[in-house]
Chain A
Amino acid sequence: MSHKHFRMIGLGVLWSLLIILVAACAAPASAPQPAQSGASTKPIVIGFTASQTGKLNVESKKQIQGMQLWLDDVKKAGGIKLADGTMVMPDIKFYDDESTTERVQALYTKLINEDNVDFLISPYSSGLAKAAAVVSEQNGKVMLTTGAADDATMEQGFKSTYQLYTPASRYLAGAVDLLGQMDPALKKIAIVHEKDSFSTSVANAANEYAKSKGYDVVLFEGYDTGTTDFSPFINKITAASPDAIMGGGHFQDGTTLAKQLYEKQVPVKFVALLVAPPEPKFVEIGDAANGIIGPSQWEPLVKYSPESASAANLPWYGPTVANFVSAYKAKYNEDPSYHAAGGYAAGLLLQKAIEDSGSLDAAKVQAALDKMDLLTFYGHVKFSTDAKTHGKQDAHSMVYMQWQKGADGKFVSQIVFPPEAKSADAQLRK
């Protein structure tokens, strides 16, 4: 019947339109900017994927905002100078990886083979960076990873991949040290973690380290990634009577865990959780945030400076902490997070490597990265040159923040460890 045929065609058109609409909202994007005309400028392209859709989109966006700020600064400075005087004007090209490894692999292949990018930066998160590294290593392309702390990825004997984040194995080491500093009598630790590869490797390393320092790990358990209710689990933790709880996973579970520990009035004196506490939004849980400690790759209150660099006999490079923070705030109307700092640092260090080597040749840039040992607003950066762990981040360390209530009743994120970076003393939870 023709009546039915018309309806089917109309339906098909409607569905196609809907699909196109949804796809358009997740469209690939690039940020083309006109190259500045100068003495003799050479454009280069830095490629990466962004998690514009999917569960990583919040953190990925911050990382890219940091990168874009770096790009602005380079353009303002006229570009990167090569040995022969050529000014290199970088630009970025990225696609949406939908927070999945399948898309990452396909898109990095595309960036390398079709778009012919010169250098690469990783997507946000250890899982996606690992997938990207497979492709970049296969093609011999230089890639800086940021937002990726997984140890195992950087222990595969890579040649051209360089890690900026402090590796996961060192994430909670400082927390154990801090606990010892605060009260040596507290000896019982419960380590609970999300069962993804990142949190699990952090927890395993923390477990080893705590035991090696003579602590009693009274509970060591992983919970499912999708867990929304920790009430039954908290009962189990409380039954083990720990003095300190460490671990967690990502923002959502960390926040819920902190909130429910408070609701159940669990009498534990020290709580250190991954990823969630450093986020400004963490304080939305109210008084439950009080005293919670979190390791962070970077915080706006860190005390890295040209002075502390010369005191440590290291060269300083790039903007000061204050300049970075104010420029970021001016551009994005919010304080920079460590994801943003990592994004900026990735661009910054690539810039330094190109300047040091004076060329765009991959081998020369790699050599420059291998030699690097410097202090930036982001912290101390030095890559491992050992064959098995080549590219792994050797020098950068975590800073530990704690939410403390100021005199006005508002929460402030104070840095409480390590001593070189701290802005306030740590407090025990009541």
Chain B
Amino acid sequence: MNLEALLASGIDGLMLGFVYGIAAMGLTLIFGVMRVINLAHGPIIALGMFSVYLLTNQLGLNPYLAIPITVLLGLAFGMVMYFVAVNRVINEPELTTLLATFAVSLIIIGLGTVAFTTTPRALDVNLGALRSGQITVLGTKAVAVLIAILVAAGLYALLYRTRVGKSIRAVANNRSAAEIMGINTRGILAFSFGLGTALAATAGGLIATLFAFTILSGGTFELKSFVIVVLGGLGNPTGALVGGILLGLLEGVFTIFIPVGWVPVIEYVIFVLILLVRPNGLFGART
């Protein structure tokens, strides 16, 4: 067993795991606050990829400047999507809201394919690399990790230190009580949904700085997000971040031991095991 290859892969996977974590945080936040499963999660990740790509290529912006803009665009998109597609059915059973978000995902994919076709796009971002033996730490990956950490920290500051954040947690805890406290729960739900989609779009934007993508590329990350959300505990953002990092690490490490085509299978086996053995996830659900 080649130790150096193992270490190199572990580091590669761990770093990518931060980005997985951000995406998963978006999905789990929406579920935690309003018990809605956002099936448009994948397409919104893809929209985040295109947002950074277009801002960089068409407007000549630095891609790392395009990312905060993408965060805001993701927030706006989510709030509009909430009012148009989700608010009407927010009190219906989970299946109805799932169908609503599914419909939106189809629309995004349909319109996106027409607008962008499925030609793969790529950004050419070069920030050099740190090398030591077989271990290569790409500049772009390191920056992605940094941004992911900043975004996660920002989310925590919001949720635990601001009135809006506490209102979100209150609404998540007991919506009718929050309403009679004077909290505009509909507005809070829209904002929370927007935060979730902003996180998804951010993850997409970071991915665009690392790999090539098409409008359909969100799918793989959406699947990973679901696994991570269950792994970390439904509605638990900390669990999602840690779960994401853990999954990335596992992906990197397993690749060395088993045929690489089997690694996704292992992920889904883990998913099923967690559902059976610890359905509240490794860190406990927060609902």
Contact = CB atoms under 8 A, between A and B. Distances in A.
Do A and B come into direct contact in the complex, CB within 8 Å? yes
Interface of A: 11, 15, 18, 22, 25-26, 53-58, 61, 195, 221-224, 226-229, 231-233, 235-236, 238-239, 251-252, 255-256, 259, 263-265, 281, 284-286
Interface string B127-151: 0010100101010000000000000
B118 A228 contact: no
A233 B134 contact: no
Contact of A58 (B119, B131, B219): B119
Given A26-B114, A239-B5, A195 B122 contact: no
Nearest to B117: A57
Contacts of A251: 120
B259 interface: yes
A232 B119 contact: no
B9 A221 contact: no
B8 to A, nearest CB: 4
Given A226-B220, A233-B260, A255 B122 contact: yes
Contact of B122 (A226, A235, A285): A285
A235 B118 contact: no
A235 B264 contact: no
26 contacts: A22-B107, A22-B111, A61-B117, A221-B259, A224-B264, A226-B220, A226-B264, A227-B260, A228-B211, A228-B212, A228-B213, A228-B220, A229-B210, A231-B12, A231-B16, A232-B255, A232-B256, A235-B8, A235-B255, A236-B5, A239-B134, A239-B256, A252-B214, A255-B120, A259-B122, A285-B122
Contacts of A263: 129, 136, 138
Given A22-B111, A55-B216, A236-B9, A224 B263 contact: yes
Contact of B9 (A55, A226, A231): A231
A35 B249 CA distance: 63
| Binding site secondary structure of chain B | helix
B117 A285 contact: no
B58 interface: no
A58 B118 contact: yes
Nearest to B103: A15
A265 B131 contact: yes
Contacts of A286: 124
Interface in B184-223: 207, 210-214, 216-217, 219-220
A238 B131 CA distance: 15
A280 to B, nearest CB: 12
A251 B216 CA distance: 14
Contacts of B251: 232
A53 B113 contact: yes
B63 interface: no
Contacts of A229: 12, 16, 210-211
A259 B256 CA distance: 20
Interface string B1-41: 01011101100110010000000000000000000000000
Contacts, number: 118
A117 to B, nearest CB: 27
A315 B122 CA distance: 44
A252 B136 contact: no
Given A224-B260, A263-B136, A284-B124, A57 B118 contact: yes
Given A53-B110, A54-B118, A255-B212, A232 B12 contact: yes
Contact of A265 (B136, B256, B263): B136
Query: Which 10 pairs, one residue from A and one from B, show the smallest C-beta to C-beta distance?
Result: A232-B9, A231-B12, A232-B255, A22-B110, A226-B220, A239-B5, A239-B2, A235-B5, A232-B252, A25-B114
A236 B113 contact: no
Contacts of A195: 261
B2 to A, nearest CB: 4
A223 B260 CA distance: 5
B255 A233 contact: yes
B106 interface: yes
B261 A221 contact: yes
A233 B13 CA distance: 10
B88 interface: yes
A223 B120 contact: no
A270 B133 CA distance: 22
B260 A221 contact: yes
Interface in B43-71: none
Contacts of A11: 88
A108 B107 CA distance: 27
Contacts of A252: 120, 212-214
Interface string B248-287: 0001110110011101100000000000000000000000
Contacts of A255: 120, 122, 212
A192 to B, nearest CB: 8
Given A57-B113, A232-B256, A236-B5, A223 B261 contact: yes
Given A255-B122, A255-B212, A238 B260 contact: no
Contacts of B5: 235-236, 238-239
Residue of A221, A231, A264 most packed against chain B (CB within 10 A): A231
Given A226-B220, A228-B213, 11 more contacts: A11-B88, A22-B107, A57-B113, A57-B117, A223-B261, A227-B260, A228-B217, A232-B8, A232-B13, A233-B255, A238-B5
